[in-house]
Amino acid sequence: MPGELQTEALDVFTVTGLKPEEAAYAIAGRSRSPLTFKERSVAIIEAGNTVKALDEFSNEYGHESIRDEAFVTKAMENFSMVVQEILISLELYFPQVSSTRFQQRRFQARKVYIPPSIIGTPIENLYRAILVRCFNLFDEVFRWALREMRSEYTKPAGMDDKEYQEKTRARALDIARACLPGATLSSLGAWINSRQAQQQIRMLRSHPWEEARAVGEALLTAYTKEPPFNPRHKWIEQELQKIHALAQPYSDIAGQVAESIARLRPNILFEEPLLPTLVKHTEPTGYEEKTYTALRDKAREVLKGIPFEAAIGARLMPPHSLKMETACSLLFTVSDVSYRAILERLRYVSALELQAITDLAFLYRGKFDLPIPEVRSGYKIIVERVVPEAQNRDLRRHRNERKFYQPRHWQMPYLVPTRLTGQIRERYIAEIEAIRQMTADPLLAREDLQEYVLPMAFARRGLSKKDFWQALYVGELRTAEQGDQVYREIVYDEVEQIRTEFPSLGRHIRATDPGVMNIFKR
């Protein structure tokens, strides 16, 4: 009957067989089309989904909304741990990086990044000499730590030999990884949508360090110009060739089979780039470079005379205004001065001077430039951490924290693992001090070179901004009994400060005392 209500059965399904851009256009197009997703996706395939056709649709619809839906799985190999930290800084991006707990053989292979700009110069010899010294110390400390772990912790009942060996080896690597230089090669895998991919490439191509720019160019090529890696490619190709061979004796169908295979091949082998139309506008605009240069000059002017100081640990910052937080954050990342010292200095500058600092963040911003991340302000819980880079790798993973970091340099404090005793402790300190002196050489004054040659024992100063939910989450997770002892102690002290400042809320954080340990628990 006219006007009678109708119902339809719930239809929930997963999707395969669509390229990332095809899937994105099918999803985005549903908002303006009466077709179902299945009908829409079939229509895109039947229309031929040429790059030109998809690009014309995206120009009409809006690239950004479509980019959010175009996901690709990417993998990256053979870049330094230094650039790895730049890569994972993108918000709403959840990569899996290679863990230092399970890469013993890779570390012992001593694979490193050497900046092309120093090859053949006197810098290269010094650079290589420091890295060799770091790896020699790593090997020595790892062997000692593994013996100690297996001597101190006997195999629990019910645990097989393989698991026992893996867990004690992982704990030994927790100690030895402090010796690894930042130039050590790493890898990651991630699922990323094209909007994030575009932002990441633009960020990398704008970066002052040559390795970061090279990674940005490689990513752009992988997304827009090269076919994806397909682990089934060889098998599919072999099967298609078998079908073609089987049809040859039958002249009446051989031609039709060959034509069918030719039509089928590009749709199942995915031999075209995955994001040829959506990743664009990745050219550096100059906004970041000009802004950070201006902020660095302003920091030298405003923070002049503040002595350098840094000690491993965490400090909760006192309450201060949104305007003050923004200005302090902008100066923090372009200096080596503590946030607390910056806060104290800016309390005595005029309102006009404070505004001038903030205005620099927007002075060179173009129409399509996202503001630099340091202007993310308005957080009640702000913690300054000075954490050895070996442990900072773990603390970086929490995406709901706003984190900002200063570059490492040879004057930063370094970690001496408490488990190291006797001769190995003396040997470790002597070698780290020798490496510190070598790194202080003016030949290695460049910011990126400091990062590459310094062992991960050297700390990095960073800022963590968060709400209470995230403070609770990190406080409970990173003090758990199975965690690295160094970051457990730092985070537990952070929790204690939050409990003091916000007692009605802090009392609900279920932090585990660092004295409670379980090396066999995941």
- Taking each helix axis from N to C terminus, what angle separates 37-46 and 20-29, rounded to the nearest 10 degrees? 130
Q: Is residue 177 part of a domain?
A: no
Mean pLDDT to the nearest integer, 397-424: 93
The 402-405 sheet, strands edge to edge: 313-316, 381-388, 459-466, 402-405
Q: In terms of domains, do 406 and 308 share one?
A: yes
Q: In terms of domains, do 256 and 367 share one?
A: no
Are 111 and 138 contacting, i.e. CB atoms less than 8 angstroms apart? no
Instruction: Report the pLDDT value the prediction gives residue 33, as an integer from 0 to 100.
Output: 67
Which of 39, 69, 99 is the last residue in one of the domains? 69
Q: What pTM does this model have?
A: 0.85
How does pLDDT run across 175-208, given as a tens digit for each residue? 999 999 999 988 877 778 888 888 889 999 999 9
Instruction: Report the pLDDT value the prediction gives residue 356, as an integer from 0 to 100.
Output: 97
pLDDT of 376 strictly over 90: yes
Residue 117's alpha-carbon distances to 181, 198, 209, 258, 448, in angstroms, are 19, 27, 11, 51, 12
pLDDT of 392 strictly over 90: yes
Where do the H-state alpha helices sit in 333-400? 339-346, 351-363, 389-395
Instruction: Report the pLDDT value the prediction gives residue 276, as an integer from 0 to 100.
Output: 86
Q: In terms of domains, do 324 and 471 share one?
A: yes
Q: Name the residue type at position 275.
A: L
How does pLDDT run across 242-272, given as a tens digit for each residue? 999 999 988 889 899 999 999 888 878 878 8
Q: In terms of domains, do 314 and 377 share one?
A: yes
Which of 52, 69, 86 is the last residue in one of the domains? 69
Q: Is residue 333 part of a domain?
A: yes
pLDDT of 4 strictly over 80: no
- Segments of 84-169 assigned E as strands: 96-97
Q: In terms of domains, do 259 and 385 share one?
A: no
CB-neighbour burial class of residue 305 (10 A; exposed 0-12, middle 13-18, buried 19+): exposed
pLDDT of 298 strictly over 60: yes
Tell me the pLDDT band of 75, cut-offs 50, 70 and 90: confident
Strand partners, 461: 386
pLDDT of 309 strictly over 80: yes
Percent of the chain residues topping a pLDDT of 70: 90
Tell me the pLDDT band of 48, cut-offs 50, 70 and 90: low
Q: In terms of domains, do 294 and 340 share one?
A: yes
CA atoms within a 13 Å half-sphere pointing along the CA-CB vector of 483: 27
Tell me the pLDDT band of 38, cut-offs 50, 70 and 90: confident
Q: In terms of domains, do 346 and 259 share one?
A: no
Which of 240-244, 382-386, 503-507 has the lowest average pLDDT? 240-244
Q: Is residue 371 part of a domain?
A: yes
Are 413 and 310 contacting, i.e. CB atoms less than 8 angstroms apart? yes
DSSP tag of 102: S
Backbone angles phi, psi at 315, to 5 degrees: -135, 125
Q: In terms of domains, do 243 and 358 share one?
A: no
Q: Is residue 200 part of a domain?
A: no
Instruction: Report the pLDDT value the prediction gives residue 83, as an integer from 0 to 100.
Output: 84
Q: In terms of domains, do 292 and 265 share one?
A: no
Which of 269, 295, 318 is the last residue in one of the domains? 269
Mean pLDDT to the nearest integer, 424-451: 97
Instruction: Report the pLDDT value the prediction gives residue 470, as an integer from 0 to 100.
Output: 95
Tell me the pLDDT band of 368, cut-offs 50, 70 and 90: confident
Instruction: Report the pLDDT value the prediction gives residue 256, as an integer from 0 to 100.
Output: 92
Give Cα 308 distance to the centre of its chain. Answer: 28
Instruction: Report the pLDDT value the prediction gives residue 287, as an integer from 0 to 100.
Output: 95
Give dist(CA 520, CA 65) in Å, integer.
46
Where do the H-state alpha helices sit in 47-121? 51-61, 63-67, 81-87, 104-108
Q: Is residue 123 part of a domain?
A: no
Q: In terms of domains, do 327 and 462 share one?
A: yes
pLDDT of 100 strictly over 80: no
Instruction: Report the pLDDT value the prediction gives residue 72, as an integer from 0 to 100.
Output: 80
Q: Is residue 62 part of a domain?
A: yes
Q: In terms of domains, do 255 and 291 share one?
A: no
Q: Is residue 444 part of a domain?
A: no
Instruction: Report the pLDDT value the prediction gives residue 28, as an integer from 0 to 100.
Output: 73
Domains of the chain: total: 3
Mean pLDDT comparison of 221-230, 253-262, 453-462, highest-scoring range: 453-462
Which of 126-130, 274-278, 309-313 has the lowest average pLDDT? 274-278
- Taking each helix axis from N to C terminus, what angle separates 122-152 and 161-176, rounded to the nearest 10 degrees? 140
Q: In terms of domains, do 379 and 237 share one?
A: no
Q: Is residue 278 part of a domain?
A: no
Range of the domain at 243: 233-269
CB-neighbour burial class of residue 459 (10 A; exposed 0-12, middle 13-18, buried 19+): buried
Helix, strand or coil for residue 116?
Answer: helix
DSSP tag of 282: -
Mean pLDDT of the residues in the chain: 88
Instruction: Report the pLDDT value the prediction gives residue 96, as an integer from 0 to 100.
Output: 61
